[in-house]
Chain A
Amino acid sequence: QVHLVESGGGVVQPGRSLRLSCAASGFIFSDYGMHWVRQAPGKGLQWVAIVWYGGSHQFYADSVKGRFTISRDNSKNMLYLEMNSLRVEDTAVYYCARGHGGNSVFDYWGQGALVTVSS
């Protein structure tokens, strides 16, 4: 049974940093691209970043490029999102999600981690 569990959310001031983690289980983690998707309060879904199987290739949404870093540790079945220079508009629930079949279709989602950026 696939499980994705995020941690590391919280309240942070603008300009500060935060690191999210996602623990994966129930599948061969290194066989899948992994994503972060976010949802601002009361708003729709926004894709944030992808890291491919071995971790050497990543891609980002323009809104976070240069500020966020996605990474993975396949030996620990862990996914990470390092968020720097946080802005108020980064406030959202951040979901880790598994990519289905080599595509960027999100077939399993974690429960989400709330990140609130506020002074």
Chain B
Amino acid sequence: EIVMTQSPATLSVSPRQRVTLSCRASQSVANDLAWYQQKPGQVPRLLIYAASTRATGIPARFSGGGSGTLFTLTISSLQSEDFAIYYCQHYNSWPVTFGGGTKVEI
């Protein structure tokens, strides 16, 4: 199975700061990569799919990039509601797998 590794595990940032999260795949997943946001006690929310396509209703401050084995999620200006855990997930082959998550905290 493809192993997804996210870094860093925790990111301490300030509001309005630009943030970049990383996700690495153990082998190429082309651009079959999604990002999710999960706030405490809430259900995961799809942010990005196909590496760089924003899901419906996702603000433009979220952007995804990369292909193959290295991917990024960038939040251009962090808002208070963006403090959460972010997961990457590949869907290139079975089984689909998630990264361990990056917690974005104040």
Contacts and interface: CB of A to CB of B under 8 A. Distances in A.
Interface of A: 44-47, 59, 61-62, 95, 100, 103-107, 109-112
Interface of B: 1, 32, 34, 36, 43-46, 49, 55-56, 87, 89, 91, 94-101
A44 B43 contact: no
Contacts of A100: 46, 49
Nearest to B98: A45
Contact of A44 (B45, B55, B98): B98
A106 B44 contact: yes
A103 B91 contact: yes
B100 A106 contact: no
Contact of B55 (A59, A62, A107): A107
B39 to A, nearest CB: 13
A45 B89 contact: yes
Determine chain B's interface SS by DSSP, over half rule: loop
A105 B98 CA distance: 11
Determine chain A's interface SS by DSSP, over half rule: loop
A58 B50 CA distance: 23
A112 B55 CA distance: 21
B99 A44 contact: yes
Contacts of B99: 44
